[in-house]
Chain A
Amino acid sequence: MDDASLPTELPPLPDAETFRHWFDRYARSVFNFLCALVGRRELAEELTQETFVRAYEQRATLRDRARVAAWLFGIARNVSREHVREYARWDALDDTFDGERQPEPTNGQTPDAQLLAAELHFIVRAALAKLEPDKRMVFVLRTFEQYSYEDIAAITGFSVGKVKTDLHRARLEMRRHVRPYLLAGHGGN
């Protein structure tokens, strides 16, 4: 066995420092994605942590560092699926989209715009909760995280065709819930 004949140009595995960089860049998106999938902020926090630790354990499986986001989201999806039996449906809609940023009704002084925004956020959360998990995942990746159809297919493991179909149906369902508020609150402006 000649060592020289063996391929030795394997790229070094990403270290903790690299992960810190990836955390700064993608953690918010991963957390947001998991929030939308599992519906509970505390759980999403745990799962985000689990996602990064697991990604670190499996860092040898990252083939292309240019697609690290898709890789991380794929792991996040797997992590969330493991909890899916426990949290198949949202049983609590509170603080999913960051309660700290919601308007504070201090002395009834909250501006109308803030109230309207808060109500809209609630409507969106409720509508998201009603989506089937696959559709919700595709919808969140597209409309929240702005991933292309191909990226979504890579992350979810679905075909591009399924991504398109699920996204179309998810949008129709979301629209059915959200559009009335759009028309009433903004008059379509």
Chain B
Amino acid sequence: MDCERCLEQLDAYLDGELDVLEASMLAAHLRQCPNCQAECRAREWENRLYRDMAAGVSLPEGLWPRIAAGLAAVDEREQRRSGGGRTNWFRPELSGWWRLGLALGCLLVLAVGLWFWLRPAVPAEPLLAQGPTPPSLSDTGDLPRTLPPAGTPSAGSETLAPADTVIIEPPRRRTGMTSPPPVRERPPSEAEQILSQVEQTYLVVIERLQSQARLRRMKLDPATRTAIDRTLAGLDAQIAQTREVVRQSSTDPAALHFLLTAYRKKAELLSEIIVMTEGGGS
């Protein structure tokens, strides 16, 4: 082995990473080459220097207690997750009244959803409610002409010209259901009644959850509290906005869906606060 090869492999030799044959050849060279021996000693010294420096480093004090607190927080999170997560709704330790309320609310949402699913969208009412229809619609003789159902007050339609009473009515599955008259002072439609019921249920549930959550929110850490407050504020804004849209167009399925979804989300979030603070609070 020549010096060049020896110096090339010297680090690996000192690291113990050479195979037996290479190591023995290099050792043989070192025995007879003073220059390579000197280089070997210098590298050994360097390695010792680095080792000693590393050994001289001490851990900062109080590190373990902080880590232990972190591990405990992880344990707590995992416990919460395994004990509930999405199934928190039906945890046995939760009191039953609001759980039932939420279940009822969900059922009502489902019912409304199904009702809107089965009932095709009805553009006629908004068209009439918004005033005179375009002349072209009334002029087309091939369009089906349907008068408002007998017995329903149609004060608004009386103020319109006869042509304006033409309603473009898509086929309906429910013949028994009367179309709401296109005036503001009309009796609430079935959809509006259901909406009102669902809304009331949600409002009651949310109010009760909110009173519970208000008592418990201080148990949350500040970051979580801030995040939750922000989300709640967003949901409130969403509810207010969607409510306004629903008020203007009470049969708009999309608006109803958004409104009920916002209520549901708020109820879920509030109950999540209660679930999160359940363990730590007791």
- Residues of chain A touching chain B, judged by Cβ–Cβ distance below 8 Å, are 16, 19-20, 23, 27-29, 31-32, 35, 41, 45, 48-49, 52-53, 56-57, 97-98, 100-101, 120-121, 124, 142-146, 148-149, 164, 167-168, 171, 174-175, 178-179, 182, 186, 188-189
Residues of B within 8 A of A124 (CB): 49-50, 53
Residues of B within 8 A of A98 (CB): 56-58
Task: Tell whether A27 pairs with B63 under 8 Å between CB atoms, given A20-B68, A98-B56, A149-B15.
Answer: yes
Smallest CB-CB separation from B70: which chain A residue? Answer: A53
Smallest CB-CB separation from A32: which chain B residue? Answer: B57
The answer, among B11, B15, B16, B57, for a CB contact under 8 Å with A28, is B57
Do A56 and B54 touch across chains, with their CB atoms under 8 A apart? Answer: no
Task: Tell whether A182 pairs with B75 under 8 Å between CB atoms, given A23-B67, A56-B70, A124-B53.
Answer: no
Supplied contacts A16-B75, A56-B74, A98-B57, 19 more A-B pairs, CB within 8 Å: A16-B71, A23-B67, A45-B60, A52-B71, A53-B67, A53-B71, A97-B56, A100-B58, A120-B49, A124-B50, A142-B15, A143-B50, A144-B51, A148-B17, A149-B15, A171-B11, A178-B46, A179-B46, A189-B45
- Residues of chain B touching chain A, judged by Cβ–Cβ distance below 8 Å, are 11-12, 15-17, 38, 41-42, 45-47, 49-51, 53-54, 56-60, 63-64, 66-68, 70-75
Do A121 and B74 touch across chains, with their CB atoms under 8 A apart? Answer: no
Do B67 and A49 touch across chains, with their CB atoms under 8 A apart? Answer: yes
Residues of B within 8 A of A143 (CB): 46-47, 50-51
User: CA A178 – CA B53 in complex, angstroms?
Assistant: 14
Residues of A within 8 A of B71 (CB): 16, 19, 52-53, 56
Task: Tell whether A52 pairs with B70 under 8 Å between CB atoms, given A124-B49, A182-B45.
Answer: yes
Tell me the minimal C-beta distance from A92 to chain B in angstroms: 16
Do A144 and B50 touch across chains, with their CB atoms under 8 A apart? Answer: yes
Smallest CB-CB separation from A178: which chain B residue? Answer: B46
Do A28 and B68 touch across chains, with their CB atoms under 8 A apart? Answer: no
Smallest CB-CB separation from B15: which chain A residue? Answer: A142
Task: Tell whether A27 pairs with B11 under 8 Å between CB atoms, given A19-B71, A143-B51.
Answer: no
Residues of B within 8 A of A29 (CB): 54
Residues of A within 8 A of B51 (CB): 143-144, 146
Smallest CB-CB separation from A101: which chain B residue? Answer: B56
Residues of B within 8 A of A164 (CB): 12
User: CA A144 – CA B64 in complex, angstroms?
Assistant: 23
Tell me the minimal C-beta distance from B36 to chain A in angstroms: 13
Residues of A within 8 A of B59 (CB): 27-28, 31, 48
User: CA A143 – CA B66 in complex, angstroms?
Assistant: 29
Smallest CB-CB separation from B48: which chain A residue? Answer: A143
Cross-chain pairs A/B with CB under 8 angstroms, 29 sampled: A16-B68, A16-B71, A16-B72, A19-B67, A20-B68, A27-B59, A29-B54, A31-B59, A31-B60, A31-B63, A32-B54, A32-B57, A45-B60, A52-B67, A53-B73, A53-B74, A97-B53, A97-B56, A98-B58, A101-B57, A143-B47, A143-B50, A143-B51, A144-B50, A144-B51, A167-B11, A171-B11, A179-B42, A182-B42
Residues of A within 8 A of B11 (CB): 167-168, 171
Do B56 and A188 touch across chains, with their CB atoms under 8 A apart? Answer: no
User: CA A179 – CA B50 in complex, angstroms?
Assistant: 13
Smallest CB-CB separation from B54: which chain A residue? Answer: A144
